[in-house]
Amino acid sequence: MSEVLLKIEELNVNYGAIHAVKGININVNEGKIVTLIGANGAGKSSTLGAIIGLVRSKSGKIIYNGKELIHMRADAIVRSGIALAPEGRRIFPNLTVEENLRMGAYFRKDESGINKDLEWVLGLFPRLRERLKQMGGTLSGGEQQMLAISRALMSSPKILMLDEPSLGLAPLLVKEVFDVIKKIKQEGKTVLLVEQNAAVALAIADYGYVLETGKIVLEGNGKKLLESDDVRHAYLGVSV
Amino acid sequence: MSTSNLIQDLINGTLLGGLYALIAVGYTMVYGILRLINFAHGDILMMGVYFSFYFIAALTMPWWLGFIVGIVGAGVLGFMVERIAYRPLRSAPRISSLITAIGMSFFLESLAVVVFGGIPKSFNLYPTFFSKILIIGHTRIQVLTFFILAVTFLLMFVLIWLLYKTKIGIAMRAISVDIPTTSLMGANVDNIIGLTFIIGSMLAATSGIMWAMRYPQVQPYMGFVPGLKAFIAAVIGGIGSVPGALVGGFLLGMVEILIVGFFPNLAGYRDAFAYVILIVLLMFRPSGIFKVYSEQKV
Ligand SMILES: Nc1ncnc2c1ncn2[C@@H]1O[C@H](COP(=O)(O)OP(=O)(O)OP(=O)(O)O)[C@@H](O)[C@H]1O
Ligand SMILES: [Mg+2]
C-alpha cells in the first residue's frame, strides 16, 4: 500500500444557504489516479476549490503531507505541491502559450528545472510546441485543455488535480488527453481527477468516489465501480 | 499657421500627450485588475510633487534627488492607499470601492490643504539651464521640453519592457484578466496588485513633477485636471489596456494642442475637447481603441 498523500475528512462547503459539500471523506494515495465522479452540481468543483484554497471550507480537515491546508492561501497551497487545471481551463487569453506555461512555474527559482519541465510537457503535448508564440485565446478547446494541464504541471506538483478535462472535447481528443494523464502518473505524479464522464475516468483510475448532491454515495477501485449497477445506471446510461 | 508654429505645436502636443499617457497608465492598470477607477490617482500625483518640493526646498536635497525621492514617496503612498483603503473592499460590491476612491481623493486633497497650505507654491527648483531656449531653424524649444520628452519616452520604454519581457510583467498581464487563476500559479496576488499601484503612482508622480516644472507651481488641486484628462485618455485607448493608455494620452494631448493651434479663438474651450473626443469615439467604438480581454466569470 502506498502512503495517503492527501486526506479529506468530514469536509463541508457552504455558499450561503447552499450546502454544496456535505461531510465527505476522501483519501488520495501517493502515485495513484483517484477520481471523483458525479453529475452536474454534485459538488466536485467545490471540493477541488476547497483543497486548493479558492473556496472557503466551513468545517472539516484537509491534510496534505501531514499539513492542514484549510485557512492556507491558494498560492501557498500551490507552492506546497498541489496544482489545479481548473474547470473551464482558464487559460490567460492575452498571454502566449509559452507565457502561460511560464506563469505555471511563476514561483519556481530553478531555471534549469523549469526548462526541463517545459521540454517534458511539450513532449507530452507536441501540439503546444507548434503554438508557443500564439496567444492563449486563439487556441482550440482541446489545445486549451492541453495547455491548462501543462501549465499546472509546470509548478512541478506532487498532486495534479484536473477538473473535467474531457469537457467539450471530441472523443479522439479525450483519448489523447487521458493517455497523457496515464503517462503523468507513470512519471510518479499523483492525480486527483474530477469527471462527469465516468467511463473514461474509471478506466484509468486506481480508485474512485461517486459524489451525489454533496455526499459520497459509493467508493471503490475503478473496476469495481465500473461494474457496479448504480454507476452503470446513473453515469454510463446503461439500463440495468 | 506657419511651419515653425506647426512644428512647435507638434512638439507641445507630444509633450502634453506624454504627460497624460504616464498618468493614464496607472488608471488603466488598476482598472484592468480591480475594475476600480482610482479617483485618488491624481491626488497621489499631487502628493508626489509636494514631497519633491519639500525635499528640495526645505531639506535642500539636490533637485534630481528630490525628484526621485518624491517619486518613490508617491509609490509608497499609492501602495498604502491600496493596502488600507482598497484591499479590504476587494470582494465587496464595486460601488463600495468606487465611493472609497472618491473619499480617498477628497482626503488627500484636504490633507494637502491642511499640511501644505492652499496657496500655490512656485516650483522653480531646478537648474536654470532647463529654461534655456534652443533655436532650431525657426523653432524655439526649451531645454526643459527635451528633458520631459526624453524622460517620458524612456519611462514608456521601461514600462513596455517590464510588462512584456519580465516575469513580473507577465504576471501583471495575467492578473488583469483573471485574479483567482493567477493565484493558482502560486503567485501572491496581493504583492502583484501592490506593485501595480506602486508603478502607476510613480509614473503619475513623474508626470506631475514634469508638469510642475513646466507650469512652475504646485498646489493641492493640481492633480485634478491632469488626472481627469488622463482618465479620459485611458478610456479612449480602451481602459484596461496599457498600450491603449499610451496611445490615448498622446492622441488627447495632440488634439488639444492642435485645435488651439488651428483655431486660437477656441482656446477657452480647450478642456471641453477632451470630452468631445471621448463622446465621439465612444459612439463609434464603445470599448475604446484597443481590445481588452474581459474578466472571465465562473
Ligand atoms: N460561487 C457559488 N455560489 C453559490 N453557489 C454555488 C457556487 N459555486 C457552486 N455553487 C453551487 O454548489 C453546488 C455544487 O457546485 P459545484 O460547482 O461544486 O458542482 P460540480 O460537481 O462541479 O458541477 P459541474 O459538473 O456542473 O461542474 C451547486 O448547487 C452549485 O449551484
Ligand atoms: Mg464543476
Domain boundaries, chain A: 1-81+160-167+192-240
**Alpha carbon of B145: minimum distance to chain A alpha carbons (Å):** 36
> How many CB pairs below 8 Å do chains A and B form together?
72
Q: Which domain holds residue B84?
A: 23-223
pLDDT tens digit sequence for B98-141 = 999 999 999 999 999 999 999 999 998 888 889 899 888 888 88
pLDDT at B298 over 50: no
What CA–CA distance (Å, rounded) separates A206 from B49?
Answer: 65
> Which residue from B minimizes the CA distance to A152?
B185
The overall average pLDDT reported for chain A is 94
d(CA A44, CA B86): 33
pTM of the model: 0.92
Residue A1 has a pLDDT of 56
Cell of B111: 490633507
Q: Report chain B's mean pLDDT, rounded to a whole number.
A: 93
Is residue A212 lining ligand 1, measured as CB closer than 6 Å?
no
Confidence (pLDDT) at B294:
62
Give the 3-state secondary structure of chain B.
CCHHHHHHHHHHHHHHHHHHHHHHHHHHHHHHHHCCCCCCHHHHHHHHHHHHHHHHHCCCCCHHHHHHHHHHHHHHHHHHHHHHHHHHHCCCCHHHHHHHHHHHHHHHHHHHHHHHCCCCEECCCCCHHHHCEEEECCEEEEHHHHHHHHHHHHHHHHHHHHHHHCHHHHHHHHHCCCHHHHHCCCCCHHHHHHHHHHHHHHHHHHHHHHHHHHCCEECCCCCHHHHHHHHHHHHHHCCCCHHHHHHHHHHHHHHHHHHHHHCHHHHHHHHHHHHHHHHHHHHHCCCCCCCCCCCCCC
Asked if the model's pLDDT at residue B88 lies above 50, the reply is yes
Whether residue A107 lies within 8 A of chain B, CB to CB, comes out as yes
Partner B contacted by A132 (CB < 8 A):
no
Q: What per-residue confidence (pLDDT) applies to A239? A: 57
**Closest-lying ligand 1 atom to the alpha carbon of residue A45:** 22
Per-residue pLDDT band at B297 (split at 50, 70, 90): very low
* A230 has a chain B CB within 8 A of its CB: no
Please indicate whether, in this complex, the C-beta atoms of A78 and B171 are within 8 angstroms of each other.
no
The distance of A176 to chain B (nearest Cα, Å) reads 25
- pLDDT tier for residue A237 given thresholds of 50, 70 and 90: low
- B27 Cα to chain A: minimum distance (Å): 19
Task: Assess B182–A contact: CB distance below 8 Å, yes or no.
Answer: yes
- Domains held by chain B: number: 1
**Residue A38 CB–ligand 1 contact under 6 Å:** yes
Q: Is A40 a pocket residue for ligand 1 (Cβ < 6 Å)?
A: yes
Q: Is A44 in the pocket of ligand 1 (CB under 6 A)?
A: yes
**Domain spanning A1-81+160-167+192-240: which CATH class is it, in words?**
alpha beta
CA-based nearest residue in chain A for residue B188: A75
Q: What is the structure's pLDDT at B156?
A: 97
- If we measure between CA atoms, which residue out of A25, A156, A4 comes closest to residue A83? A156
Distance A50 CA to ligand 1 centre (A): 12
Residue owning the nearest CA to atom 31 of ligand 1: A41
A108 pLDDT band, cuts 50/70/90, is very high
Q: pLDDT, tens digit, for every residue of B149-158?
A: 999 999 999 9
* B281, B236 contact by CB (below 8 A): yes
| Sequence letter at residue B5 | N
* pLDDT value of residue B160: 97
In a domain, B271, yes or no: no
Output the pLDDT for position B296: 43
B215 touches chain A (CB under 8 A): no
**Tens digits of residue pLDDT in B225-266:** 999 999 999 999 999 999 999 999 999 999 999 998 898 888
Residue B263 lies in a domain: no
Asked whether residue B276 is domain-assigned, the answer is: no
